[in-house]
A and B are shown apart, each in its own frame.
Chain A
Amino acid sequence: MAHAPTSSFKNPVVNWIDQRLPVFTMMQKEYGTFPTPRNFNYFWNFGALAMFVLATMIVSGVVLAMQYTAHTSLAFTSVERIMRDVNWGWMLRYIHANGASMFFIVVYIHILRGFLYGSYKKPRELLWILGVVIFLLMMATAFMGYVLPWGQMSFWGATVITNLFSAVPVVGESIVTLLWGGFSVDNPTLNRFFALHFLLPFVIFAVVFLHVAALHITGSNNPLGIEPKGPQDTLPFHPYYTTKDLFGLSLFLIFFAFFVFFAPNYLGHPDNYIPADPLVTPAHIVPEWYFLPFYGILRSITFNIGLPFSDVVLIDAKLGGVIAMFASILIWVLMPWLDRSPVKSYRFRPIYKWWVLMLVVSFAMLMYAGGKPAEQPYVLVGQVGTFLYFLFFLGLPVISSFERPLPLPASIAQPVLGGGRVGAVAAAKPMEKA
C-alpha cells in the first residue's frame, strides 16, 4: 500500500502517470497479457460485440438527445426534424433504432452461449446474475426509448406495459398513477421516460464494468467447460483475442450496416410513423420483436388460478400473466442452483443438449405467438411455448441429477492440439519471442 507501484513503460509520460495511477498496468494486465483459454469459438465474440453496441448506443443517443424535444406536442416532429433537417440525422436515428435490435440479437446470443456452455456455474454465479441485471436494465431502457418518438406504437405500448402494474393487488392502481404522473400516459410520462432513458445506459455501463471485473476474477469459461490447468491452456488476450474480436466486429458491422442503410424500418412497425393519438388504438398492438417472447408468455396466461373444487380465485389471469412474465426472466438467476450437473459444457451432456434445444424452440414459439393476434391457434402455440419454457427450468434439477455426462478431456490443450502434437506447441513458443 505504502509503495508506489513500479512501472516500466518506455514512454516517460505513460510511466509517470502509471506510477501515480496504474491504469496502464491494469489495461496491460486485463486486456494485454490476460491469460485466456486458447479454445474459444466465435460464441465468445459476443461479449465484446455487446460492449461495442452499448458504446454506439450511448454516443448516438447523446447526439440525438441534443436535437430531441420531450414534449407530447413536439416529440414526433422533433424526431422527424432529425430525420429530415439535421445533418446526418437520418443515419444517427437509424443507427440508434436498429442498434437497439442489434443489442438484443447480440445479447440473446451471448446469453445462449451461457446456457450452452454452463457459464453460470460455480465459480461464475455472480457474473451470471450481474448479466441478468444488465438484461433487465436493457429491457427497461429499450422500452422507454421506444416511447420517445411518440408514435402510435410508442403511446399504446407505453399504455399497455404500464398498465401491467395495475395487476398488483391493492396498490396496483396507485403504482400506475405514480408511473404516469397523471391519469393516463401523457406529457409527464414522456418527460420521465426521457430522463430515465438517458440515465439507465450509464447504469448499464456501470453494471457491465462489474460484470467484466467479475469475469476477470474467475477467468473466462470455454467451449469445453474445463478450467485451464496451466499456461499451455491459455493465450494472452492480446494479440490473439483482440484480433479475433476485431474480425468478429467487422463481420457484425456488415450485418448492422445492412439494416441501417438498406432496411432501416424492417424491424420496426409502420404504425409508429403515425403520431400518437390517445383516441385511436391501433388494430394490433405489438411490442418490438425482442420483447415478443415475453409478451407471448404474458398473453398465454388466459385462465384464473384458484383453489381446486371451489370458485375462489387466488390469482386472476391478468396478474398470472404478469407474474409469469417477470418470473420467466428472474428464474434465470436460479440457473446456477437449478443445474446440478458437475459438467458445464453441453458437449459432454447427452440430455442437457436436447433440454437446451427445447428452451430455444420454446423461445422461438413464444416469439412467433407474441407477434400474432390473441386468437387460436396462436394462443395455444404460446401456451405450449410457455409450458416448455418453464419446463426447462423446473425440470432441470431432475434431468441434471440423473444425467450421465461423457468423459471430460484431461485439459484444454489436449483435445485442441491432439495427443501427439503437444510437442508442436513447445516448438512454436520460441517463435513468439522472435
Chain B
Amino acid sequence: MADTMHGGEEHTRRDFLYLAAAATGGVGAAVALWPFVSSMNPAADTLALASVEVDLAPIQPGQAIKVMWRGKPVFIRNRTEDEVKQAQAVGLAELIDPQTDADRVKAGKENWLVLVGVCTHLGCIPLGTNSGEAKGDFGGWFCPCHGSHYDGSGRIRKGPAPKNLQVPEYAFLTDTRVKIG
C-alpha cells in the first residue's frame, strides 16, 4: 500500500519535470524566433526618414509641389482664397466620403492643403499637381487609372475611389516650414 503511494508521488513529480522542461524549451524557442521576425520590420535608417521637413516659402498661391515621404508622394498645394472658399462651400450631402474642408487643413493655415498623393481606389498617383495636368471635373485631382475625380480639398467626388485623399500627420514648425510624419 505504502509502495503504491510512493509510486504515485514519483509519477506526479516526474510528469511535472517533463512538463517544466518542455514548457521552458517551448517558451525559449518562441522567444528566440522573435528577432528573426522582428528583423523584417522597418530598420532604424528607414525609420529615421519616416518624417520629412518641407520649406513652403517657394510655393506661390495656386501652385502645388510633390515631395517624397515614406516612399510615397505627398501633394502640398498653396490654395488661392477662391479655391479655399469653393472647398468650404461644398455641402456634406454632396460628398461620397463626407468631411468638411476644415477637418482636412490646420486652423489658421486654410490655404495649405497637404495630402498623401495615392488614389484610395487602387494606389495610382492622381494628376493635377503640376500646372497643365488634368485636374478633373472638380478642380482638384484626377486619377487616370480608373477615372476618380477629387475636388480642391482632395475629397472624392466621382469615380470608383471609396475615400478622400488621405491627410498625413503633419505639423507647422514655423509659418513656412512643415514636418510631415
Given a CB threshold of 8 Å, the question of whether A touches B is answered with yes
Query: Are B44 and A84 closer than 8 Å at their CB atoms?
Result: yes
Query: Are B35 and A85 closer than 8 Å at their CB atoms?
Result: no
Question: Count of B residues near A, CB < 8 Å?
Answer: 13
Q: Complex: how many Å from CA A334 to CA B149?
A: 78
Name A's interface SS: helix
Q: CB-nearest residue of chain B relative to A88?
A: B35
Q: List 18 A-B contacts (CB under 8 A).
A: A60-B36, A63-B36, A63-B39, A66-B39, A81-B43, A85-B43, A85-B44, A85-B45, A85-B46, A86-B39, A86-B43, A87-B35, A87-B38, A87-B41, A87-B44, A88-B39, A92-B36, A246-B21
Of all A-B residue pairs in the complex, the 9 with the closest CB atoms, nearest first, are: A88-B35, A85-B44, A85-B43, A85-B45, A86-B43, A87-B38, A63-B39, A63-B36, A88-B39
Q: How many A-B residue pairs have CB under 8 A?
A: 38
With an 8 A cutoff between CB atoms, is B168 at the interface?
Answer: no
With an 8 A cutoff between CB atoms, is A401 at the interface?
Answer: no
In the assembled complex, the CB of B28 is this many whole angstroms from the nearest CB of chain A, namely 9
Residues 14-49 (chain B) with a chain A CB within 8 angstroms? 21, 25, 35-36, 38-41, 43-46
Residues of B within 8 A of A (CB): 7, 21, 25, 35-36, 38-41, 43-46
B40 contacts across to A, CB distance below 8 A: 63, 66
Question: Count of A residues near B, CB < 8 Å?
Answer: 16
Residue among A67, A84, A246, A434 making CB contact with B39, cutoff 8 Å: A67
Query: Are A89 and B25 closer than 8 Å at their CB atoms?
Result: no
Q: CB-nearest residue of chain A relative to B36?
A: A63
User: Known pairs A59-B36, A89-B43. 20 more at Cβ < 8 A?
Assistant: A60-B36, A63-B39, A63-B40, A66-B40, A67-B39, A81-B43, A81-B45, A84-B44, A85-B43, A85-B44, A85-B45, A86-B39, A87-B43, A88-B35, A89-B39, A91-B35, A92-B35, A92-B36, A246-B21, A246-B25
Residues 62-95 (chain A) with a chain B CB within 8 angstroms? 63, 66-67, 81, 84-89, 91-92
A59 contacts across to B, CB distance below 8 A: 36
In the assembled complex, the CB of A406 is this many whole angstroms from the nearest CB of chain B, namely 40
Q: Complex: how many Å from CA A88 to CA B42?
A: 11
B-contact bits for A421-434, CB 8 A (1 contact / 0 none) = 00000000000001
A67 contacts across to B, CB distance below 8 A: 39, 43
Q: Complex: how many Å from CA A6 to CA B64?
A: 73
Q: CB-nearest residue of chain A relative to B37?
A: A63
Q: Complex: how many Å from CA A81 to CA B36?
A: 16
In the assembled complex, the CB of A55 is this many whole angstroms from the nearest CB of chain B, namely 12
A89 contacts across to B, CB distance below 8 A: 39, 43
In the assembled complex, the CB of B91 is this many whole angstroms from the nearest CB of chain A, namely 48
In the assembled complex, the CB of B143 is this many whole angstroms from the nearest CB of chain A, namely 32
In the assembled complex, the CB of A249 is this many whole angstroms from the nearest CB of chain B, namely 9
